[in-house]
Structure 1
Amino acid sequence: MNIRASIAATLLAGSILAPISVFAGQAPGASSDPDIPVSGKDRVYAAEQFSNTVSVSDPSTNKLLGVIKLGDPQPGNLSPLYKGQVLVHGMGFSPDHKTLAVVSIGSNSVTFIDTATNVVKHTTYVGRSPHEAFFTPDGKEVWVTVRGEDYISVIDASTFLEKAQIKVPSGPGMQIFSPDGKYGYICSSFNPETVVVSVADHQIVGHVKQESPFCPNIAASADGKQVWFTLKDVGKTQVFNAQAPFDLIKTLDTGPITNHVNLVTNKKGNFAYVTIGGLNEVKVFRTDTFEQVATIPVGNLPHGIWPSGDGTRVYVGLENADQFAVIDTLTNKVIANIPIGQAPQAVAYVPNAVPEGDGLANLVPLGKAGEAAHLKLAAKGHKGSKDTPSTVTLFDQGLTQVLQASVTGLDPKKPYVLALSGKPDGSGPLQGLSNFMTNPAGSAIVNAVGPIRQIVESKRKDERQYLVVASSVDDKPGDVVQVQAE
């Protein structure tokens, strides 16, 4: 055997004895990190906005284990003596996978939870309407986007106290970090500008122009080359260079109510998974060619999204279905659905969150947090699910419900009203529930509160009302354009 053949045989033997994964490392980690196979030690979390809970699921069985109750639904949370959290929304986790950081928009708080015991370790209060929080890769700081103001709250991860504020354009939406911990990327929900901040000294070192002002979510690739962010108002996703000069690489038309994006590496390559709330789909793009390779129907109003530690699955929170949709990333098919709490927003998959024990301590049953009614609205004169552009969920809060409608298929930047009609076709007098303006993609998220379920599900024909969307003229209902689908 010649020397070249001998070396080749040695390398082959070594590869058989100690295989090296070429598709290791899932965001927000580095590509040098090993993949972590799905196991019963992992946990999938969702922040649930209207039940004020955090659901905890076991990905090895795709079963809900219970919820961590951070607050009460309405009207209990309206009391002046109320101490719980309101509008549980954002989520991040520490590099050692031991701590979950949960942001509540309405109570201006970040709740730190021990993943092994589900115990709240501390609650830190920050400025107006925080949105998302994430740990720096070294685990020393937690950056919180204070969306109602113009700064990032920097929290010491050991004391849970705010140690600094980083001035940024008003309305910071979310931040994520480069895998090497050098940069923090911060998009804006109120200004068409993403900024890049040096983690070492908290100074802005780069700017990226957003095509619109409303960015809710951002993700950085594990190889440190790309940053992806979504634009909810115009239905686009943009990609820029993760290294200076932070130039824009690509703009993708993704669809109405483009919500969250996350990045996945598997044996087929590197992919971006984007939730499109207005289409009830997840779209999948290659990160090298930006080719769309899959469209996955998932259910009503997909929002948060996160991959498993080995990139074989993606978990999608369905905001208007109170479920996780579980996607197999090799087939791009939904393989399971998990019932969870009301209106899941941010999602986090934490590998090895519970290294020992069953991880059931301090969890409570879903209970009222799992109760909701689901309706659809179709364009007037059309029937059938394929013609249904809008979904409505009535989240049970006791005698009342929080109504949330994901309305699409309308004219862009036009005023409309969600209303009640005594007739299925919307004829006759209308009672307005909520006035709204569509975004540039002709869609909107519309909310109302009241005993609406009792009305739209009444068994008495003389009492029953039907949800409709009508044009708005001088803040009053005009022509009906969408009606409740039976």
Structure 2
Amino acid sequence: MRTNEFRRTAARFAKKAAVFAGSALVGAALTTAMPSLAHANNIIVLNSGEATLSLIDDKTHELVGTVPTGKEPHHLFPTPDNSSLIVANSVSNNLLFVDPKTGKPQRWIENIEDPYQLGFSPDNKWFVTTGLRLDRLDIYHYGGAGNITLARRLPLSAMPSHLAFTKDSNIVFVSLQVSGEIAAVDLPTQKVLWKMKVGPAPAGMWLTPGEKYLLVGMTGADYVAVVDWRNQKIVKTIQVGKAAHNFRSLVDGRHVLVSSRVSNVISIIDEESLEKVGEINGLMPGPDDMELSADKRWLWVTFRFAKHIGLIDMQTKKLVKTIPVGRSPHGIYFYDRAPVMSPNGA
């Protein structure tokens, strides 16, 4: 997304979305809507265009509740102990902690500026957020129990988007959508090690087994760039659908999925051969974030442009159910999910 388009979208959402400044107000609204929520086990979906969470019962696959958030909740990430799920409200400049099983609000942290994407380093010492509007990477020390203290605000233009961490927690990679680059940032010193051009509007990133290559989805094109990050060079491009955006491991040590938001497909990439080996099509507009069930049978997908999420049967590679949610569904999470094999987290 171009800078002006992003700012117009942010302004439009800011005018329409309600702001809830504290967990007491959110909790009251939730209690009224869902008195039995504490006993539920839900799929949690972020509706970026409505400042809400949609809650889907994981058994019935029906919408069972809506929870207000701050403005423009785009991404989410569990705390290292899985006691909370952190929702980053980028325009409200705060974090909302919710129960990862039910979606029930727990508490807020204010004055976290423009948290678009977020993540913990594998050693759980660092908590990092990208400031898409502010062209900045914010690096925090993580002290456990949800306690974060700012280490450094690092200018990083233009439009830092997605994150990927090396297993040793020394480096975080950041995609820069407007400049068409990725940056490598040293976490111990909070300094930029290098930047390199990769292509138009890079977004999601994925480290292959052994951290040999960094895969980068090109939202402004139709390919995944294979980056030899140690030598800062592209060794190959993998053709997928238009607007290649985000990744999800199939947790088999060999394959990873990439969503393409314009072609409305999800491609399957072999991480050894670095080839596209399959495709899931017949999808609704704007497939974006994905989550895989613990038994690896079901893939849940947000359709960013369709106000729906979908359920894909991974045995048949077919979309078997769609569920209406709010406007611009983005992040998705549920407690009973397959682990993530790559060190770039949730």
- Provide TM-score, normalisation by structure 1: 0.54
User: Aligned in 2, Cα 1:308/1:53: closer, same or farther, shift over 3 Å?
Assistant: same
Quote the residue 1:90 is aligned against: 75
Q: Percent identity?
A: 17
Shift of 1:282: 1.7
Indicate if the aligned counterparts of 2:202 and 2:218 stay in contact, CA closer than 8 A. yes
Quote the residue 1:62 is aligned against: 61
Distance 1:169 1:283 in 2: 29
Distance 2:121 2:330 in 1: 22
User: Aligned in 2, Cα 1:221/1:340: closer, same or farther, shift over 3 Å?
Assistant: farther
Distance 2:40 2:81 in 1: 14
Quote the residue 1:248 is aligned against: 234
Match of 1:181 among 156, 160, 169: 169
Distance 2:141 2:174 in 1: 19
Indicate if the aligned counterparts of 1:122 and 1:160 stay in contact, CA closer than 8 A. no
Q: Deviations over 1:376-429 (max 9, x none)?
A: xxxxxxxxxxxxxxxxxxxxxxxxxxxxxxxxxxxxxxxxxxxxxxxxxxxxxx
Matches within 5 A, 1:50-199: 50-70=49-69, 85-116=70-101, 118-127=104-113, 129-157=114-142, 158-199=146-187
Q: Deviations over 1:160-203 (max 9, x none)?
A: 44332234333211112234433211111121221122333323
Q: Deviations over 1:134-155 (max 9, x none)?
A: 1222333321101122321123
Q: Deviations over 1:29-49 (max 9, x none)?
A: xxxxxxxxxxx9975322111
User: Aligned in 2, Cα 1:221/1:312: closer, same or farther, shift over 3 Å?
Assistant: farther
AA of the residue aligned to 1:240: V
Match of 1:270 among 254, 260, 268: 254
Matches within 5 A, 1:199-218: 199-212=187-200, 214-218=201-205
Distance 1:139 1:68 in 2: 28
Quote the residue 2:247 is aligned against: 261
1:324 to 2:309 alignment = yes
Shift of 1:257: 3.0
User: Aligned in 2, Cα 1:124/1:139: closer, same or farther, shift over 3 Å?
Assistant: farther
Match of 1:233 among 220, 224, 242: 220
Q: CA RMSD in A?
A: 2.9
Secondary structure of 1:217's counterpart equals: strand
AA of the residue aligned to 1:210: V
Distance 1:280 1:263 in 2: 19
- Provide TM-score, normalisation by structure 2: 0.74
Distance 2:322 2:99 in 1: 26
1:292 to 2:277 alignment = yes
Distance 2:251 2:337 in 1: 19
AA of the residue aligned to 2:258: V
Number of aligned positions between the proteins? 295
Distance 2:261 2:130 in 1: 23
User: Aligned in 2, Cα 1:94/1:225: closer, same or farther, shift over 3 Å?
Assistant: farther
Distance 2:335 2:246 in 1: 18
Indicate if the aligned counterparts of 1:220 and 1:226 stay in contact, CA closer than 8 A. yes
Unaligned stretches of 5+ in structure 1?
1-39, 71-84, 354-486
Match of 1:282 among 261, 266, 286: 266
Indicate if the aligned counterparts of 2:217 and 2:244 stay in contact, CA closer than 8 A. yes
User: Aligned in 2, Cα 1:51/1:167: closer, same or farther, shift over 3 Å?
Assistant: closer
User: Aligned in 2, Cα 1:111/1:178: closer, same or farther, shift over 3 Å?
Assistant: same
Q: Deviations over 1:4-60 (max 9, x none)?
A: xxxxxxxxxxxxxxxxxxxxxxxxxxxxxxxxxxxx997532211122112233445
User: Aligned in 2, Cα 1:288/1:349: closer, same or farther, shift over 3 Å?
Assistant: farther
AA of the residue aligned to 2:176: S
Indicate if the aligned counterparts of 1:327 and 1:336 stay in contact, CA closer than 8 A. yes
User: Aligned in 2, Cα 1:341/1:50: closer, same or farther, shift over 3 Å?
Assistant: same
User: Aligned in 2, Cα 1:320/1:148: closer, same or farther, shift over 3 Å?
Assistant: closer
User: Aligned in 2, Cα 1:343/1:100: closer, same or farther, shift over 3 Å?
Assistant: same
Q: Which has the larger radius of gyration?
A: 1
Distance 2:188 2:203 in 1: 25
AA of the residue aligned to 1:54: L
